A and B are shown apart, each in its own frame.
Chain A
Amino acid sequence: MGLLKRVAEALMITVLVILSMGFLTAAAEGVHLSRHFLSYALHRTGQYLRFSVDIFKNQKGWVEVIHEGNSVMYIPHPSPHQIFHMLVGTSPQMAILNTLFLLSVTMVLVFTVGGYWGLKAGYQGGRWDGVLAVLAPMFSAIPGWFWGIFLMWALWWKLSIVPLSYIDYVHMVEGTGKPTPFTYLYALTTPTLTLTFANVAVYAYNVRNLVRNELHEEYFLADVLKGLPDKRIMRKALRTVLPPFLTFTSYNFLNLMMNGMAVEVMFNVPGIG
């Protein structure tokens, strides 16, 4: 019963969120509040939903032909899929894939580098910890896009080792040959590094704090007294701090996604942003 109630509540919230976003969109289109607003906004929400589903259907639009006297007028009516393609420059499936790919590669880098750095700083302290203690507040303070501009300056303007615009680079490769997975990966270098730069110190600091808390636990002391090698103790500490770290990650995912949208706009990545 408890589970059913929770599912029903989650469904209700989802429906309400969709409805409220639909109503807001209708209001943003210029529909004024009146006694007809509710029914009109509801109708529009239905249309937005249908449009959102239809953009995934690879349908072709149609052309309306109007004959008037000796002249003929052609009015194109593109399908939702074509409208999306015209506006974003790629299919909706690819747009979602692009965003997911960008975020996944970023998360892998952040987890690997941040996890190792945080573990080392938390367990061994010293220089690793000192650098992290200075960088973490700085990195969490500076907005993600700022790193984008910095990397743009360093890697594109000064060194010319990465492409600036994702879509332009992919189109250029498509014009001269067949793009490989490496093409897309290379085109995403700067956006990925931007998001990684913006997040890695913050994530590492979180791991460091969690590991520091674990150092006071009895099992940890027992492991040290048993004379276990450092690497084994660190592996164990990592296993213990993983669940709270994943909770932190899930809380921060929306934040990462919002920053990801801005980074997509900056580097012309046709994704959700």
Chain B
Amino acid sequence: MYRRLSTSLLLVMLAFSLLAPRLVSSQDIRNWNNSTYWAWNPKGVPPAWYGAIKGLPDTEWLRGHYSNGRFVYVYDFHYSEPPQEIVLIPNETCNLRLTVIDPLGNRYVLWEGYIPNFVYLSRLTGPMMNVARDKCRPVPSPGTLLIHNPLRALFSREGVDCTAPGNTLLQGRYTFIVEAVDGNLSPTDEPRIRVLGLSYGLMGTDVEGRDVWVGFAYGAEETVLVAILGAAVMVGLALLLGMLSVLSNGVGGVADFVSKFLTATPVLPASVLLIVVFGSSKTVSWNQTYFTMNPFVLALVIGVLLMGNVSRNVRSMVEEELRKDYIESSRALGGSPLWILRKHVSKIILPYSLHQFSLAVPGIIGFITLLGFFNVSPGINWGTLMGEIILSGARYKLAWWQILPVGISLGILAFSFIGIADEIKGRFLKG
């Protein structure tokens, strides 16, 4: 039962890691560290399905229709909270007027004039204060309104405290009218209106507004690739060094010394330094530096650094095996040390290596996330995502939509590999 479960989970996770990166846009990946690319997403919000359960506004582009030289957008507001932001993005620089009509028919002019790039409605303190004076009782000060999301005033019922939490919002259809101050707009001038809700997509967004699903799906392949390759390098080299180190000639001496040296090397600081040396970095702010590194080189670095203990274990197992009577007989019959290692000892060591491989895969994934904690996890993988969660302080906000997917996936992947390791141990290594 346990074996079947772990094998099935492993297959599902492997399939996911191979398929998921193909499901995300390559443009999103290229711009992963470009904050302006993600400017039209809300910052640090949970997934849309969670928003649907909790009554939080979704993120959407409003669809406009052209009528009498102006564009009309209807926003069906049926939520328990106002959106994080509403942005008006004109198609060209011209003199525009933005009017909002609430479900009761009240009209508010929020903007009149040139828009060089775009307008964030929540930052229009003056017009929003006019709305607040009309609707809110008591009328909040501009400072209080800014602290409590000025859009709350726009979506508020009349005569209520716009800064108080609770059921103070007026649900219904809000109409946004964009027209030219002088003359008419042509049908090709269509401006765009983006509602930055309090929920987004399949897995929400991080504090930069990046789609968590993109990083998670794309990072799956690199995480699994580095973990499996790293484990293969680690076990392969440990096997080679551990077996060679028992030889009494010069090769054995060198192998033993290298194995001891790697065991004594502090893995975490050494990995950090090697990533800095072999990777390339880009500093985007005083506390944020992104590292990139070929995943194959990363796997090699981690595999080599983590092989010390396993190589010592292999060596002691080989030494124990070499003391047995049947090995003495082989030696007496003229078997060379290398022949004995290949013919007899490898049969004992191979299942152990497979067992260690299965344990190493989750171990390396955990190690990559540890690198993320120190902001040196290179590329886009689950370790990098973890690092960004820690650096951005999302742990204090308990942004579960960022933490849980990585944690649960790591857990499932590790659980399945440990299940396989237990199976190997049960079949080949007992007694």
Evaluate contact between A137 and B373: CB separation under 8 angstroms. Answer: no
In this assembly, does B276 line the interface, its C-beta being within 8 Å of a C-beta of chain A?
Answer: yes
Range of interface residues on A (Cβ < 8 Å): 20 to 34
11 contacts between A and B (CB under 8 A): A13-B257, A17-B261, A17-B264, A24-B274, A137-B419, A140-B414, A142-B407, A153-B398, A164-B396, A258-B367, A262-B370
Number of interface residues of B (CB under 8 A): 41
Contacts of B205 in A (CB 8 A): none
A44 to chain B, nearest CB (A): 13
Task: Kindly identify, within residues 191 to 208 of chain B, every residue whose CB is under 8 Å from any CB belonging to chain A.
Answer: none
Which of A56-64, A94-102, A111-119, A144-152 lines the interface with chain B?
Answer: A144-152
Q: For the complex, give the distance between the alpha carbons of A164 and B396 in Å.
A: 9
Query: Contacting B269 at CB < 8 Å: which of A9, A21, A143, A144?
Result: A21
CB atoms of B309 and A251 under 8 A apart: yes
A37 within 8 A of B: no
B347-399: which have CB < 8 Å to A? Answer: 362, 365-367, 369-370, 373-374, 386, 390, 395-396, 398
- B265 contact from A17, A27, A152, A157, Cβ within 8 A: A17
In the bound assembly, the distance between CA atoms of A157 and B403 in angstroms comes to: 15
Q: Is B39 an interface residue (CB 8 A)?
A: no
A137 to B425, CA, bound (A): 13
Q: What is the chain B residue whose CB lies nearest that of A29?
A: B276
**Is B158 on the interface with A (CB-CB < 8 A)?**
no
**From B264, B400, B419, residue with most partner A Cβ within 10 Å:** B264
Q: Is the CB of B369 within 8 A of A145?
A: yes
20 additional contacts, CB 8 Å, given A144-B366, A146-B403? A13-B260, A17-B261, A17-B265, A20-B265, A21-B266, A21-B269, A24-B274, A27-B277, A140-B414, A142-B410, A142-B414, A143-B369, A146-B411, A153-B400, A164-B396, A251-B309, A261-B370, A261-B373, A261-B374, A266-B390
Q: Return the CB mask of A1-29 against B: 1 if under 8 Å, else 0.
A: 00000000100011011001100110110
Bound form: Cα–Cα A144–B407 in Å: 10
Distance A251 CA – B410 CA, assembled complex (angstroms): 23
B274 CB, min distance to chain A CBs, angstroms: 7
User: Counting CB contacts under 8 A, is B267 at the interface?
Assistant: yes
| Cβ contact within 8 Å between B267 and A254 | yes
Given contacts A13-B260, A149-B403, A265-B374, contact A137 B415 (CB under 8 A): yes
Most chain A beta-carbon contacts within 10 A, residue among B273, B398, B417 = B273
Tell me the smallest distance from the CB of B210 to a CB of chain A, in Å.
Answer: 20
Q: Does A185 contact B (CB under 8 A)?
A: no
A141 touches B418 (CB 8 A): yes
Chain B residues with CB under 8 Å of chain A are 2, 257, 260-261, 264-270, 273-274, 276-277, 309, 362, 365-367, 369-370, 373-374, 386, 390, 395-396, 398, 400, 403, 407, 410-412, 414-415, 417-419, 422
Bound-complex Cα distance A142 to B403 (A): 13
Q: Chain A, 119-144, contact with B by CB distance < 8 Å: what is the 0/1 string?
A: 00000000000000000011011111
Q: Would you call A24 and B261 a contact (CB within 8 A)?
A: no
Q: In whole Å, how far is A29's beta carbon from the nearest beta carbon of chain B? A: 9
Task: Give chain B residues whose Cβ lies under 8 Å from the Cβ of A27.
Answer: 273, 277
Q: Does the CB pair B260–A9 fall under 8 Å?
A: yes
Known: A142-B410, A146-B410, A265-B390. A28 touches B273 (CB 8 A): yes
**CB pair B265 A262 closer than 8 Å:** no
Are B273 and A146 touching (Cβ within 8 A)?
no
Q: From residue B111, how far is it (CB to closest CB) to chain A in Å?
A: 40
- Kindly list chain A residues whose C-beta atoms are within 8 Å of the C-beta of B390: 265-266
Given known contacts A13-B261, A13-B264, A254-B267, is B398 in contact with A152 (CB within 8 Å)? yes
A137 — which chain B residues lie within 8 A by C-beta?
Answer: 2, 415, 418-419, 422
- Say yes or no: A145-B386 contact (C-beta < 8 A), given A28-B276, A164-B396: yes
Smallest CB–CB gap between B405 and chain A, Å? 12
The 3 nearest A-B residue pairs measured at CB: A141-B414, A24-B273, A141-B415
A25 x B410 contact (CB < 8 A): no
Provide the A30-71 mask, 1 if CB < 8 A to any CB of B, else 0. Answer: 000000000000000000000000000000000000000000
B415 with A145: CB separation less than 8 A:
no
A262 near B373 with CB under 8 A, answer: yes
* A258 and B268 within 8 A (CB): yes
Inter-chain contact A138/B415, CB cutoff 8 Å:
yes
CB <8 Å contact, B273 and A25: yes
Q: Separation in Å of the A262 CB from the closest CB of chain B?
A: 4
B369, A157: Cβ atoms under 8 Å? Answer: no
Measured in the bound complex, the distance between the Cα atoms of B274 and A258 in whole Å is: 17
Most buried by B among A137, A143, A153, A262: A143
Name which residue of chain A comes closest to B366, CB basis.
Answer: A143
Residues of chain B contacted by A13 (CB below 8 angstroms): 257, 260-261, 264
Instruction: Give the contacting residue for B407; candidates A143, A157, A258; CB below 8 A.
Output: A143
Q: In the assembled complex, which residues on chain A have CB atoms less than 8 Å from the CB atom of B260?
A: 9, 13
Q: How far is the CB of B231 from chain A (nearest CB, A)?
A: 15
* Closest CB in chain B relative to A55 CB, distance in Å: 16
A266 and B373 within 8 A (CB): yes
Asked whether, in the complex, the Cβ of B265 is within 8 Å of the Cβ of A143, the reply is no
User: Considering the chains assembled together, what is the distance between the CA atoms of A21 and B264 in angstroms?
Assistant: 11
Contacts of B365 in A (CB 8 A): 143
- Asked whether, in the complex, the Cβ of B411 is within 8 Å of the Cβ of A138, the reply is yes
**Bound complex: CA A265 to CA B367 (Å):** 15
A208-249 residues with Cβ-Cβ distance < 8 A to B are none
